Amino acid sequence: MLVELEEKEATLINVGLLIEALKTENLDRFRAEFTELHPYDQAQFYTHISEELRAVLYRYVAPKEMAELFENIEIDEEDYEKFLAEMDPVYVADMLSHMYADDAADVLHELNEEQASNYLTMMDDEAAQEVQELLGYKEYTAGSLMTPEFISVEANATVSFAMKTLKQEAPNAETIYYVFVTDTNKKLLGVLSLRTLIVSPDDAVIEDLMDDRVVSVLVTEDQEEVAHKMRDYNLLAVPVVDEKHHLLGIITVDDIIDVMDEEASDDYSKLAGVSDLDSVDKSPLSAAKKRLPWLIILLFLGMMTASLIGQFEETLSQKAILAVFIPLIGGMAGNTGTQALAVAVRGIATGDLIHENKWKLVMREAGTGLITGAICGVVVTGIVYVWQQDLLLGALVGASIFITLIVATLAGSLVPLFMHKMKIDPAVASGPFITTINDIISILIYFGLATTFMHYLL
């Protein structure tokens, strides 16, 4: 792992010097090098060294410094418990107290209820209360993502007062680029950019300068919807409000980047028919546990396909050559369906598919299926005729390809749209799932046509 780190961060981290300083317990040399690193690079070094070296590092790095490191760490969910267990509980509590409340809540989310409660008890009272409030919100909502560390002023304040407030609260605020404007009851009225605040006269009233067309999100709003809104409006931070429009917190762009990465990974996992692809599994057993549920489902669907072919045993016995083209037709159906599925799921995930153009997508995919089906059908007809010198057989396979591609394309686009309508994650209509369903459909079409026109084939 250290070799990998050295190759990846050779120009940023002097790995050898840091490890040597830890091994020889040279405090001054270690801190001189380590504290100059970006917190992300510190986190990379921290996660790649051995537990024995980390034990020395905890003595050399203050809880406040470790807090910044943990805000930039990239580890699996189960690793949080492992790393925190290495530290003294008081050290952990102090570290969590110095973290931004939303980041501390994210860490405690990965622990069991008893562990989280113990750390909250030892934390600074004010920090613990902020984190406790965030833990009370449902996971994957705006409330669970927001931070209460923001800057706000009342609408009747002057620029001079606002600048004084900004200077006082900036060290603890997660971002200072937006100053949010409220009334005396903390109801959100508008927003003010740092640029506007700096260039305005000291005696100007905030209410006259603010933009009252402020974009906000409800505390109960899903994190994916929040990500779409911040992307659409190019926001660095978005205010979070309750049903009465009281300002509760803000969500910053760095948290939304993590959400987008998480959602993309989740959708890709489901499209692949795997429960979780966020990390490289540590053992074949854990990988098998994640993949088996879908594979068992697909196994039974595959048995249905095999059983279906068995129903056409008499057709196959009369014209055995028909069996040769089963993989061709099934494969084409699966590939076409997966392509349409990817287009539909992406449209839903990005929010591009609003109500008015869903049917436009379906009609476009139907047209695509018609064109690709016709071309592939003609090509297959010609190939089979040249190969088998049987025009009727070629026409049968070509017609099957033609109809199958149209149906498979429609299925690939309609299934995720239907699931979205039923409030089910459309990514559940995974590639393996839609492929197997289209296998069944293609077998029915192929052997249905073959049975119907068998007397012509013979």
- Strand-pairing partners, residue 147, are 250
Give the C-alpha separation, 17 to 25, whole Å: 12
Q: What is the mean pLDDT of residues 23-45?
A: 94
Q: Kindly list the domain boundaries of the chain, sorted by start residue.
A: 2-138, 152-261, 284-457
In percent, the amount of the chain with pLDDT more than 90 equals: 50
Q: Is the confidence at residue 320, as pLDDT, over 70?
A: yes
- Considering the four listed CATH numbers 1.25.60.10, 3.30.70.360, 3.40.640.10, 3.40.50.2000, the one that applies to the domain covering 2-138 is 1.25.60.10
Note whether 152-261 and 284-457 share their fold.
no
Mean pLDDT of 314-331: 84
pLDDT of the residue at 426: 66
Q: What is the pTM of this model?
A: 0.65
User: Does the pLDDT value for residue 52 go beyond 70?
Assistant: yes
Residue 429 main-chain phi, psi, to 5 deg: -75, 65
Quote the mean pLDDT of the chain: 85
- pLDDT value at 458 more than 80: no
Maximum average pLDDT range among 70-84, 249-263, 337-351, 414-428? 70-84
pLDDT at 332: 87
Q: Which CATH number fits domain 152-261: 3.40.47.10, 3.10.580.10, 3.40.50.360, 3.40.640.10?
A: 3.10.580.10
Angle between helices 77-86 and 51-60 (to 10 degrees): 60
What contacts 84, CB < 8 A, 6 or more positions away? Answer: 92, 107, 111, 115
Q: What is the pLDDT of residues 133-157, one digit of tens each?
A: 999 999 889 999 999 999 999 999 9
Structure tokens at 254: 């760095």
Q: What is the mean pLDDT of residues 221-242?
A: 91
The pLDDT score that the predictor gives to residue 267 is 59
Q: So what's the pLDDT on residue 343?
A: 81
Q: Are 186 and 209 in contact (CB under 8 A)?
A: no
pLDDT of 341: 81
State pLDDT tens for residues 169-196.
998 888 889 999 999 999 999 999 999 9
**How far is Cα 357 from Cα 232, in angstroms, rounded to an integer?**
18
Assigned architecture for domain 284-457:
Orthogonal Bundle (1.10)
Burial of 327 (0-12, 13-18, 19+ CB in 10 A): exposed
